[in-house]
Amino acid sequence: MMEQELRVINVGAPHFAEALRAQGAPVIQLNWRPPADGDPGLIALLEQVSGPEVDAANAQALAAIQTGHPVLVGVERAGDVVEGLTRTTILHSGPPNRWETMAGPQRGAVIGALMLEGLADTPEAAEALAASGEITFRANNDCGCVGPMAGVISYSSALFVVENRTHGNRAYSGLNEGYGKVLRMGAYAPEVLERLRWLNTDVADALRQAVGAMGGGLDLRSLIAQALHMGDECHNRNKASGALFLREMGPHLARLGLAPEALARMLDFMGHNEVWFVNLAMAASKAVLDAARGTPESTVVTCMSRNGYEFGIQIAGLPGRWFTGPAQPVKALYFPGFTAADAALDIGDSVITETAGIGGFAMAAAPAIVQFVGGTPDLAAELTRQMYEITLAESDHYSIPTFGFRGTPTGIDARRVVETGILPSINTGVAHRLPGIGQVGAGLVHPPANLFADALRALVAAGGRPSGG
Amino acid sequence: MVVRVLVRPDSYFDSVSLMAVSQRLKELPEVADAVAIMGTEMNKRLLEGAGLLTAESAAAAPADLVIAVGAETESAAAEAIAEAGRLLQRRGGAATGAAGGASESAWSGAAAQGAQAPRTIRSAVKAEPGASLALISVPGLYAAREARMALARGLHVMLFSDNVPLEAEVALKQLAHEQGLLLMGPDCGTAILNGVGLGFANAVRRGSVGIVAASGTGAQELSTLIDRLGGGVSQLIGTGGRDLSPAVGGRMTLDGLRLLQADPATAVIVMISKPPAPAVAEAVRAAAQAGSKPVVLCFLNGGLSIDAAAVRAISLATGEAEAAAAARLAIAADDRPPFAPAPGRRLVRGLFAGGTLCDQALLVLERALGPVACNVHPDPDRRCGPTGSAGHTLLDLGDDELTQGRPHPMIDPTLRRQLLLEAADDPETAVILLDVVLGHGAHPDPAGALTGAIFEAVSRGVAVVASVTGTEADPQRRSAQVAALRQAGAVVLPTALQAASAVATGLAGLQGSAGREARLQGSAGSAGLQGSAGREARLQERREDA
């Protein structure tokens, strides 16, 4: 005490901070609020998960995330790489869902997928099949996969294969179809399925060969890090990452000996699809986070996801165990011709990017899209800054130039969400509530508040031991 | 519906900005639909779908900006188009400097204010390394948790909050002890570390006297008297009022004594508190004797008074005789004007901001006048409510019951001003006794806030007797505060003890000479200054007998 300079953190009455400033003493005034909004039950719960064993577990989970190194290593057919994916299995976004409770876009996508797989000839037949109980529905995140919006993956879907080079685990995501009438928005018109077939065959084959030719694959961690410095946050803005992807992939594609028109069509499609890269950002995020799954006693959030019906999260200490609440309406800006009345509730696995410390957690890196969150770069910076309150660390790899290259907030701690009442800030697209119309806007959304406390309660009840799958 | 279109050639805007503009336009009165987009083929199909495509917009190129408005009236459509122009202009010119991340300037108070400031100790430490102490004044319900968080990050803690459970205090102090950290509090109002005052603290000279204090205003009075006598304070370590209870066992006091014994800047140590539990007192005495430096034990309510402790500390530090120092303490400050309450008035009303100063006055007055009611009286039979009693009454306005939902009287003089006027209205009130406490954290002009009410009281024949705890270096400057009080008609004594003693002597004189007009001298009455130290000694003996 006698040797140190006195630097004070003032917790409470600002009056005392002013008195210290008047003496010329360095002081920081906290913007303090009662933990968990002063709820005694939640405060007691927080005390139960405040032990050093939880801190140690979280440090371990965080280390797994920080060292994660996602690399695109291939493009494969879902049926060949996803464990347990039969010809009658449909994977979907969000926590586990049933046909009866599926939102419009997800239903439409299921219809399209069943037709694509040749299991039904008409939409009506597909609906009947989906409702018959013969189709197995599973959540993407339970199968190593992620998909935007409806997130539907079926047997013949082509998937990006992303390997976590440090930890050896893999994650998968489909090829992005672009804007407009697309399966992920619930469209199943013939041209939608035709485009999918092209993506699943011609494009997938070309990319598989090109990735193979790269030797060592495409380093997604490095690519995302660069894109963040070019104005992307890799959820709602993927302009830079998409361009970087083409820059890396272009020469290898060119050498494949494809007909010029066939190659041009692919390059045109990928290059002008502004969300082409989001699927890769998602699979990269999933591959990184899955390495932390199953860290006993850890309260680190390893998965967030939604399906237009429910929002679900998982924590590292309870792998495979979903904590769910109702999907939320998105605070959005709408494309011309659409309004809030057209919007589906929050949907898609893309929130895996926020879970991994990019997307909304890197909003400050993407000033071009700040209108989504209220209009000014200051607000965007503030949103990102708030996320530091609920995360354990700053990313070792992803940084924000305007924050002096401070690492993005990484490793959401469910305890801190409960403590501060600050919910993860998620950038997201908005689907039309009816199948097949497409994206109608984009904006900002939060998970329901109860999920994080529910997860902590379950962890306490489980005695810190991992349970479930 | 009227459709109006504006095409601005070669004007690129990003789609998100344009969506925001569209949104704003749609909110205008009488506007049914509005679209601001770039003239790409896909966007033109969107316009067509929305029924807003005109020949002009159909001809737009991808690099052209298209604003299309469907409105009920021609004027509404025109107004919307004009508004779009204004919105886009603002966007183009709005070079907003995005606030950066954390920076060193946060420590200077220039950044990270309000909503942008860190929410938790954890994030503050992460964003701004280098913190050494957490000053915690949040409600007691949450305070222990914050203190734990601070200790876990290697921070010393000053816990100003009260209503912290005893078990939490014990656990926190154990934790701090194991880590070699200070846990000052709970209910710790005053500390001075490395010359920086924390909470309510006075701008005292730095010097060789180290203080360990379980009493906030007691420590303020003590440190300012040491300052006035020419000494200075090395460190003032607060412990919280319960530290010397059997449950806590004097953990912080003992740690504090050890720290000061080891501190090269400290030559003399004063420990000030209410009388500890016997077992704890034993431990404190043992710790006091264990070190090489002299330790003055100032156990209030019967032990050495604050004034005497200050005098002894100065004597030990400088070799000056105690009597000489005591004499300086009185002479240096005042010329002791007389005071004379109007005939028929017989009661004292004390209105205190400092709890310890209230306790001290209670002791002095009861000795001279018999029972005195007080809202914090240790004897439940003499305890009165916050509104006082019909007899002699002292009120500690800083007591929990009176600070519910309002700031401490050291910060906000409103309640005291009001009670002062009420006391003056009482025809039996002879004297109103006040303590005016200055320093960092206190009201910028506590005397000035009371002078109106004091003038009122004095003009009705009530005497007002006050002391001012403070130094010339305090933001309020002691001499200025004393002058303001005197100008309003108050009698100002050099110390709180002398003020209480003057009232005690004066009222005892009234009681003993009923019907005669009493003229009172300040200080300790006719006993004079030489007698003051002796009186203290006698008082001490008497208490030890009791």
A369 Cα to chain B: minimum distance (Å): 6
Question: Which sign, positive or negative, has the C-alpha torsion B518, B519, B521, B525?
Answer: negative
CB contact under 8 A, A33 and B43: no
Mean pLDDT of the region B47-62: 87
pLDDT in tens, B84-94: 888 876 544 33
> Which among B128, B145, B155 is the nearest to A35, CB-wise?
B145
pLDDT of A465 higher than 60: no
The two tokens of residue A17 are 């901070």
pLDDT of B528 higher than 50: no
Give B123's contacts in chain A (Cβ within 8 Å). Answer: 388-389
> B191 vs B533, which has greater pLDDT?
B191
Give A365's contacts in chain B (Cβ within 8 Å). Answer: none
Closest C-alpha to A394, from A345, A358, A360: A358
pLDDT in tens, A262-301: 999 999 999 999 999 999 999 999 999 999 999 999 999 9
Mean pLDDT of the region A8-27: 93
The two tokens of residue B313 are 């500390």
A262 CB-near residues (< 8 Å, 6+ apart): A202
A44 touches chain B (CB under 8 A): no
The answer to whether residues B40 and B18 touch, using CB atoms and an 8 Å cutoff, is no
Locate the chain B residue with the closest alpha carbon to A44.
B145
- Which range (A29-43, B9-23, B289-303) has the least confidence? B9-23
pLDDT at position B12 is: 66
Cross-strand partners of B433: B350, B465
Mean pLDDT of the region A147-155: 97
pLDDT of A59 higher than 60: yes
pLDDT at position B162 is: 85
Q: How many CA atoms, within 13 angstroms, populate the side-chain half-sphere of residue B226? A: 36
SS3 labels along B12-53: CCCHHHHHHHHHHHHCCCCEEEEEEEECCHHHHHHHHHCCCC
Neighbours of B481 (CB within 10 A): 25
pLDDT of A139 higher than 90: yes
A136 touches chain B (CB under 8 A): no
Mutant choice from B142, B155, B476 vs A, greatest count of A C-beta within 10 A = B142
Predicted confidence band of residue B114 (pLDDT cuts 50, 70, 90): low
A372 touches chain B (CB under 8 A): yes
pLDDT of B55 higher than 60: yes
Q: Where are the alpha helices (DSSP H) in B370-445?
A: 400-403, 414-425
Mean pLDDT of the region B71-98: 71
pLDDT of A368 higher than 60: yes
The two tokens of residue A78 are 């879902």
Locate the chain A residue with the closest alpha carbon to B149.
A50
Mean pLDDT of the region B265-287: 93
Residue A406, H or E segment: strand A406-412
Predicted confidence band of residue A38 (pLDDT cuts 50, 70, 90): confident
What ipTM was reported for this prediction? 0.76
Predicted confidence band of residue B274 (pLDDT cuts 50, 70, 90): confident
List all residues of chain A from 45 to 64 with a beta carbon under 8 Å from chain B: 47
Locate the chain B residue with the closest alpha carbon to A26.
B107
pLDDT of B126 higher than 60: yes
Q: Give the whole-angstrom CA distance, residue A128 versus residue A133.
A: 9
Give B139's contacts in chain A (Cβ within 8 Å). Answer: 34
Closest C-alpha to B432, from B514, B508, B512, B491: B491
pLDDT of A256 higher than 50: yes
For a pLDDT cut of 70, what percent of chain A falls above it? Answer: 97
The answer to whether residues B37 and A336 touch, using CB atoms and an 8 Å cutoff, is yes
pLDDT at position B342 is: 75
Question: Which sign, positive or negative, has the C-alpha torsion A443, A449, A454, A456?
Answer: positive
pLDDT at position A311 is: 98
Q: Give the whole-angstrom CA distance, residue B278 versus residue B276.
A: 6
Size of interface A-B (CB pairs under 8 A): 213
Residue A303, H or E segment: strand A301-307
> Which among A9, A20, A385 is the nearest to B116, CB-wise?
A385
pLDDT of B531 higher than 80: no
Maximum mean pLDDT: which of A64-68, B49-53, B329-333, B439-443? A64-68
pLDDT at position B153 is: 94
Predicted confidence band of residue A113 (pLDDT cuts 50, 70, 90): very high
The answer to whether residues A420 and A93 touch, using CB atoms and an 8 Å cutoff, is no
pLDDT at position B338 is: 60
Locate the chain A residue with the closest alpha carbon to B152.
A52
> A332 vs A113, which has greater pLDDT?
A113
pLDDT at position A299 is: 98
List all residues of chain A from 321 to 350 with a beta carbon under 8 Å from chain B: 333-337
Mean pLDDT of the region A34-58: 91
Maximum mean pLDDT: which of A7-21, A91-105, B55-69, B133-147? A91-105
Average pLDDT over chain A, rounded to whole? 94
B213 Cα to chain A: minimum distance (Å): 17
Closest C-alpha to A140, from A114, A171, A109: A171
Q: From residue A187, how far is each of A96, A115, A350 by CA, in Å?
A: 21, 12, 19
pLDDT in tens, B302-355: 789 999 999 999 999 999 999 999 999 885 444 555 666 778 899 999 999 999
The separation between CA B243 and the C-alpha centre of its own chain, rounded to angstroms, equals: 20
Closest C-alpha to A316, from A47, A81, A70, A49: A49
B415 Cα to chain A: minimum distance (Å): 19
Locate the chain A residue with the closest alpha carbon to B237.
A1
Predicted confidence band of residue B399 (pLDDT cuts 50, 70, 90): confident
Predicted confidence band of residue B541 (pLDDT cuts 50, 70, 90): very low
A462 CB-near residues (< 8 Å, 6+ apart): A317, A318
The answer to whether residues A426 and A356 touch, using CB atoms and an 8 Å cutoff, is no
CB contact under 8 A, B125 and A9: yes
Q: What share of chain B is helix, strand, coil (3-state, %, to 5)?
A: 45, 20, 35
pLDDT at position B208 is: 97
Give B50's contacts in chain A (Cβ within 8 Å). Answer: 336-337
DSSP-based three-state secondary structure for B267: coil
B381 CB-near residues (< 8 Å, 6+ apart): none
> B522 vs A227, which has greater pLDDT?
A227
- Which range (A222-226, A374-378, B13-17) has the least confidence? B13-17
Predicted confidence band of residue B526 (pLDDT cuts 50, 70, 90): very low
Q: pTM (2 decimals)?
A: 0.76
Q: Give the whole-angstrom CA distance, residue B353 versus residue A161.
A: 71
pLDDT of B113 higher than 70: no
B291 Cα to chain A: minimum distance (Å): 18
Q: Give the whole-angstrom CA distance, residue B483 versus residue B490.
A: 9
Residue with tokens 């899955």, as numbered in its chain: A290
A15 touches chain B (CB under 8 A): yes
Q: From residue B132, how far is each of A4, B129, B150, B186 by CA, in Å?
A: 7, 9, 9, 18
Task: Indicate the Cα dihedral angle A65, A71, A72, A74, nearest 10°.
Answer: -110
Give B16's contacts in chain A (Cβ within 8 Å). Answer: 333, 368-372, 442
Give A26's contacts in chain B (Cβ within 8 Å). Answer: 107-108, 130
Q: Give the whole-angstrom CA distance, residue B47 versus residue B54.
A: 9
pLDDT at position B101 is: 35
pLDDT at position B537 is: 37
pLDDT in tens, B128-175: 788 999 999 988 888 999 999 999 999 999 999 988 999 999 999 999
Average pLDDT over chain B, rounded to whole? 85
> Which among A7, A371, A403 is the nearest to B20, CB-wise?
A371
Give A13's contacts in chain B (Cβ within 8 Å). Answer: 137, 160
A17 touches chain B (CB under 8 A): yes
CA gyration radius for chain A?
A: 23
Q: How buried is A244 (Cβ within 10 angstroms: 0-12 exposed, 13-18 middle, 19+ buried)?
A: buried
pLDDT of B115 higher than 90: no
CB contact under 8 A, B235 and A403: no
B518 Cα to chain A: minimum distance (Å): 44
